[in-house]
Amino acid sequence: MKKLSRPNLHLALVHYPVVNKAGETIASAVTNLDIHDIARAAETYGARSFYMVTPLTDQTDLVRSIVRHWTSGNGATYNPKRRQALELIRMAEDLKQVTDDIRKEGERPRVVVTSARKSKNTVGYTGMRRKIADGRPYLLVFGTGWGLASEIIEKADFRLEPVRGNTDYNHLSVRSATAIILDRLLGCDR
């Protein structure tokens, strides 16, 4: 497919509200490699920002200190490529703060949620790829833990079709799912 010039796509990784194995709503802990892997994939595919969403101040402080290390601390000198990726990271307490922040650039983003579970009214990858090409802002939302809480899924503008591989097993890490979804929506050499 045709290369998209500067997609107006933003990412959010949600740590609350998400569900645990038992289906209960929880706040998950931040995972260091989520920060790095998703920021690097976001930079590779030209996303404009990557929001880490958590209402917990200790978790926010932790992410900020990791990001600071790689964007202005010793890490920035050691690995400037990592700095470039981690500069995409923003912090937010909830999704509303994310959409408000993006809206400051002109327009409220359309919220696209991802899930490993099948649901009704999902949009496929070709369809979503076409939408993103309209140049309007889109916010692609990923859940940690066992996935986004239903209140987030229900309020979204679009639900993206789950990634299926070549089997019935659908337990990708959020890091892997993000990489695959960005490649499907924005990859230019396929």
Shortest reach from residue 7's CB to a copy of itself, in Å: 7
Pairwise CA distance, residues 83 & 7, whole Å: 21
Q: Of these, 35, 113, 156, 186, which contacts a copy of itself (CB under 8 A)?
A: 186
Shortest reach from residue 93's CB to a copy of itself, in Å: 26
Name the segment binding a copy of itself (CB under 8 A); options: 36-44, 48-56, 64-72, 97-105.
Answer: 36-44
Q: Three-class SS of residue 131?
A: helix
Burial of 41: CB neighbours in 10 Å, binned 0-12, 13-18, 19+: buried
Question: 3-state SS string over 11-63?
Answer: EEEECCCEECCCCCEECCCCCHHHHHHHHHHHHHCCCCEEEEECCCHHHHHHH
With CB under 8 A as the rule, give the number of residues binding a copy of itself. Answer: 44
Residue 179 found at the interface with a copy of itself (CB under 8 A): yes
Pairwise CA distance, residues 73 & 35, whole Å: 16
Shortest reach from residue 3's CB to a copy of itself, in Å: 7
Residue 76 found at the interface with a copy of itself (CB under 8 A): no
Residue 84 found at the interface with a copy of itself (CB under 8 A): yes
Partners of 13 in beta bridges: 52, 142
Site for a copy of itself in 117-136 (CB under 8 A): 125
| Chain centroid to CA 61 | 20
Q: Of these, 21, 22, 104, 120, which contacts a copy of itself (CB under 8 A)?
A: 21
Residues that bind a copy of itself (CB under 8 A): 3-4, 7, 21, 33, 36-37, 40-41, 43-46, 79, 81-82, 84-85, 125, 161, 163-167, 169-173, 175-180, 182-184, 186-190
